[in-house]
Amino acid sequence: MPSIFSRIVAGELPAYKVAEDEHHLAFLDITPLVEGHTLVIPKKEVDYIFDLPPAELAALHQFAQRVAKGVKAAVPCRRIGVAVIGLEVPHAHIHLIPMNKVADMNFANPKIKVAEERMKELAAAIAAQVPAAEGEAAPVPLESKAERETAASSPAAEAPADAAADSTLEQLRQLTEGLYFVSESDSPLAVVSYQAPAGELDAQELLKLLNQPADTPVQTQELTHFLRNHTADDGVLGNVELANRFKALQMFLKQELEDVKVYRIGKGPQLDAYALGRTPGGKLAGFKVTLIET
C-alpha cells in the first residue's frame, strides 16, 4: 500500500505544493505547528530517511535548503528550523518550520488550523521565492489545488458545479472502499451527499436533511479526534496499511472540503455518525458509519 506521500506524488491526493524537481517534492503540512510549516520528501518511497543512499540523502538536503530559503523569504521569522521525526508517515520527510523562538519547534504543541485561502496564499508565496537549482531556469508555478480551482474558474475551463461534486464523491468512494469503522462492531464507511443549507449547518438544519425528529440528540466532534484510533499505526485496526488509508481519507476531507465535522446523531447503544463538509459546488459530502457503544 503506497504511503500518503507517495499518493500525493502520484497525483492521487491533493497538496499545497511549493517546490518540485525530478526526485523531490515539497508541500505545506496541513496540520502545521506554525504557518508555513513545510514537508520535504523524496519521491521514492523509503520509510527511514537514513536508509537513503548517501548521494540521495545529500540531494534531499540540498533540495530542502532551496525550499527553506523560499519559506524564510515568504514567511516572517528569525530562522527555519529543521526536524526529522519519521514516526507518523512511513515515508522519509524533513520538516521545515519557520521559528522565532525554540518553542516553535516543539511537536508537543497543539497543531494550528490554517484557513484554506491562507494555505493557498502561503503556498504561492513560498513557491515564488524558492530559488532555482544551479544550472536550472527559474521555477515555474506548480500545479496545486489552488491553481486547479483558479483554472477551473476561467471561462475556457468552466465546468458545472455538479461535475466537481461528482468528482469529489467518486474520490471519496475510492478512498472509503473496503474500510470499516471499528467500535463494538464493524461498520462500513458509506459515502453520503446532501444539498447544503444556505446558512450555517446547525443541529436543526442537519436533522431536517436526515429526516430525523427535531428532538434527536446531535453531538459534534473534530474529525481528527473521531478517527484517532483508526489513523494510529498501533490503533484498533492492527494494520499499518489500513491506518494509512484512514490517514489518506482524513487528509482528503480536510483539504478538499470546508468546515469538516463529525456529527453523532441519536443515543447509544446504537447511533449514526456523519463526517461532513462542504464541497466547492455547494453540497455536503462525506461518509456515514453506525456506532455501537454500550
Q: Is 282 helix (H, G, I), strand (E, B) or coil?
A: coil
Q: Is 93 a catalytic residue?
A: yes
Backbone angles phi, psi at 194, to 5 degrees: -140, 160
Contacts of range 226-231, beta carbons closer than 8 Å, 24 or more positions apart? 226/262, 226/273, 226/275, 229/182, 230/181, 230/182
Per-residue pLDDT of the chain in tens (294 residues, 90 and over written 9): 789 999 999 988 899 999 999 999 999 999 999 999 999 999 999 999 999 999 999 999 999 999 999 999 999 899 999 999 988 899 999 999 999 999 999 999 999 989 888 999 999 999 988 988 765 544 444 444 444 444 333 333 333 445 555 678 888 988 898 899 998 778 999 999 998 888 888 999 999 989 889 999 999 999 999 999 999 888 899 888 888 889 989 988 988 888 999 999 998 788 999 999 998 778 899 999 999 876
Number of domains making up the chain: 2
Give yes or no: residues 70 and 199 share one domain. no
End-of-domain residue from the set 156, 171, 195:
156
Choose the catalytic residue: 37, 93, 95, 230: 93
Backbone angles phi, psi at 262, to 5 degrees: -105, 130
Residue 95 sits in a domain whose CATH number is 3.30.428.10
Q: Which domain holds residue 33?
A: 4-156
Give yes or no: residues 140 and 175 share one domain. no
**186-188 vs 180-182, strand pairing mode:** antiparallel
CB 126 within 8 A of CB 36: yes
End-of-domain residue from the set 139, 156, 173:
156
